[in-house]
Amino acid sequence: MRIVPWPALLFLSSLGAANVPDSETQTPETAVFHVAPDGDDAGPGSKEQPWRTLQHAADRASAGSKVLIHAGTYAGDVVFGVSGKAGSPILFAGPEDGTATVQGALQIRPNVSHLRFTRLTIRGFSDWGITLNGDNSHVELTHLTVIGGESGVHLTWGDSGQKPGDGPVSDVVLAHSLIRDPVYTAVDCTPGPCDRMIFRDLEITGAGLAGEDSFGADGLAVERGQNILVEDCFIHDNGGDGIDLSSRDRKGNVRGILVRRNRVVRNHLNGIKLWAGGRMENNAIWGQGDTAVVIGELPGTYEVVNNTVAYNMWAAGFGGRNYALVAAYPSDDTGISASTEFVLRNNIFAFNGGPAQGSATGIYIGSGIRWIREGNNLFWSRGDEEILWDTGTGVRELSRADVTASLWTGTQGGQDLAANPRFVSGWPDVDLHLREGSPAIDAGASLDAPQTDLEGKPRGERPDLGAHEH
């Protein structure tokens, strides 16, 4: 069984820099307006006589309008209360060199949709940098830099686990952007739901590390939502988890969760958490302070394929000692391991649990696991206990010798390895590419494997293990 992501959102023609005309034709569908720090809101908003404030432009724009924001700094929050429409979104675009700065927050009111924002820096806000309050859809956020505040991008509002104050959010793209140094979670969908979301090519860093009053906060967290794609992101050095999805989808069995080709590095708690189902592939996960991969708290189908999970729990300054991967651990509330269907293929688990945290650690497999497929994984963290397996009738501690013997592979269908993967370099200058002669080269199975690796290199009929094809 394989999770197939939903079709690409049809309302997007491109996620690159917006191509906008500089026409002065002012029909409702093609109006182009200009804003500049030395402009005048009493003027026509033309290139020669631009408006001065973004709020005036937000109030005057209509479906199909293009608001071209000139270089400079614009003080004050901006509230967007006018919608575009399908095929005619409202565009707010900074200059090509990205030198337009909003010294304040951007807030999209409830029931406002079909907006595009690109090439802006948002900073100097105290709470949330960009807010979609609820009942918002078809919003594109690209080529942005969002710095500081309590949260960089916040989607819906309300108490965790409760209904959203102004409804859900859907069909949103956040791409090609930097979000850094918020006090709490950087990109946060609480309480959700947030459906049909694309998070692409983001750098997210510094969450939960800014200031004495901060605490461990995640890089990217979506409490509830279906059809979520997280790809090609660099999520690093955050105080909490790197990626945390579906923590409040209590019924489980969430569909369309795909986490692929991400570098998840040195987050102080967990690396990737999939609570209620999903597929993760081609991720390089290293340097976390706690368990690198946590899946299966709730019922669902999970696929963990061609990931490299290595050198986690090594940092002396944060974290502790735990398993490298935990699948279907018994619930803190019920003590029951959730019933989960599980594919575990072509991964590398190596050198997890460093001397700063005591000793090496393997992975944990709970009794609720119902295997779909397992095999072609490499284990090289702890010789005497690479896998702690709760079979439902007892707990087995599987050593490296057991991994390659019938005790494990005879049950699961195996071809697993227990060998040094021979990475290019280890802690602290970690490079998880494979050296020549690595036993992980050509050791994978084509079934379940992605066609390319983390960097877009094609995989052959015998793919390498882990995120990087040699």
Residue partners of 311: CB distance under 8 A and separation at least 6 = 286, 287, 350, 351, 352, 354, 426, 427, 430
Full DSSP string of 59-92: HH--TT-EEEEPSEEEES-EEE----BTTB-EEE
**Residue-level length of the chain:** 470
Residue partners of 93: CB distance under 8 A and separation at least 6 = 18, 20, 66, 67, 68, 69, 116, 117, 118, 119
Per the DSSP assignment, residues forming a β-bridge with 117 are: 92, 141
Q: How far apart are CA 246 and CA 335, in angstroms?
A: 20
* Both tokens assigned to 30: 């093609």
Q: Are 186 and 204 in contact (CB under 8 A)?
A: yes
Q: How far apart are CA 437 and CA 139, in angstroms?
A: 47
pLDDT on residue 214:
56
- The fold of the 32-331+350-355 domain, in CATH, is Pectate Lyase C-like (2.160.20)
Backbone φ and ψ of 410, nearest 5°: -65, -30
* Among candidate residues 460, 448, 461, the one with its CA nearest the CA of residue 306: 448
- Which portions of the chain are predicted below pLDDT 70? 1-30, 211-216, 406-414
* Among candidate residues 49, 190, 66, the one with its CA nearest the CA of residue 117: 66
pLDDT on residue 212:
55
> What digits encode the pLDDT tens for the residues 12-70?
333 344 444 443 445 556 699 999 999 999 999 999 999 999 999 999 999 999 999 99
Please, is 228 exposed, middle or buried when counting C-beta atoms within 10 Å of its C-beta (0-12, 13-18, 19+)?
A: buried
SS3 402: helix
93, 134, 193 from 163: Cα distances, Å: 33, 11, 8
pLDDT on residue 461:
92
> What digits encode the pLDDT tens for the residues 306-347?
999 999 999 998 989 999 999 999 988 888 999 999 999 999
Q: Are 247 and 268 in contact (CB under 8 A)?
A: no
Q: How far apart are CA 311 and CA 359, in angstroms?
A: 12
Backbone φ and ψ of 180, nearest 5°: -145, 150
The torsion angle over the Cα atoms of residues 75, 80, 84 and 89, rounded to 10 degrees, is: 40
State the pairing for strand pair 293-295/72-75: unpaired
The torsion angle over the Cα atoms of residues 307, 313, 318 and 320, rounded to 10 degrees, is: 120
Which residue is listed with tokens 């608001």? 67
pLDDT on residue 248:
94
State the pairing for strand pair 169-180/220-222: unpaired
Which residue is listed with tokens 């040094």? 420
Q: How far apart are CA 70 and CA 33, in angstroms?
A: 11
For the chain, which residues make up each domain, given as ranges?
32-331+350-355
